[in-house]
Amino acid sequence: MNLQDKNLHSKNIKKQARMLKSLGVQGLFISENKKSKFLNTVNDGLLKNKDQNIKVLFVGDDISGEDSQEGVLFKNIITKGMKLSKEDVYTIDTKEMILTHKGLTKILLEGIHQLKPFVIIVMGEKISQILLSSSNSILELRNSFINFHGTKLMCTLGLKPLIEDSSKKKLVWEDIQKVNNEVSSEK
């Protein structure tokens, strides 16, 4: 399958996911064959950077849309708050995914295996709760490192709450500074 076909396939999956989400479908049964195709499409970007040893892997909604408010805010977090280059960072945007514990964990574990991040930052309450099998609020989960399959994971607020209430940016700033200190101590 060439790149153009993969992009078309990926767009079709995203369109179908949006349609199902708008109908209130929270999850659905997917055959192993279709699930494999879906995961290959999602992980296509991961394969480009295979075995890279990146510094920070970000997981969250709306973190790849460079033209949106969320995308601009996310870019500022990386460039100004963390002072990281593009080579030091990789993102997994979960906005178009139908999130389940097993599916999200599988994608993240694949990302850990291929990218070998020093730290993972999970942005958003729902994603954090799914990954950690927790019902705690993001305010309880944030600002501490959690061992996630041998990799340090930090939960923080998602981008939408920061846009809606700029006073919450201080909380994310604290989390980012903690990650900065951890990343800078890496040898």
pLDDT of residue 22: 58
| Residue 86 contacts residue 55 (beta carbons within 8 Å) | no
Whether the pLDDT of residue 120 is over 80: the answer is yes
Structure tokens at 98: 């139908």
- Could you report the per-residue pLDDT of 38-84, keeping only the tens digit for each? 555 545 544 454 456 789 988 888 787 777 788 788 888 877 788 77
Q: What are the structural domain ranges in the chain?
A: 51-185
Contact 53, 120 (CB under 8 A): no
Residue at 59: amino acid letter: V
pLDDT of residue 138: 94
CATH classification for the domain delimited by 51-185, as one of 3.30.559.10, 3.40.50.300, 3.30.540.10, 3.40.470.10: 3.40.470.10
Decide: helix, strand or coil at residue 84: coil
Residue range 139-157: mean pLDDT, rounded: 93
Instruction: Count the neighbouring beta carbons within 10 Å of the beta carbon of residue 99.
Output: 17
Compute and round to an integer the Cα radius of gyration of the chain: 16
Residue 160: DSSP 8-state: H
- Of 156 and 116, the one with more pLDDT: 156
The proportion of the chain whose per-residue pLDDT surpasses 70, expressed as a percent, equals 73
Q: List the one residue out of 84, 85, 81, 83 whose CA is nearest residue 170.
A: 81
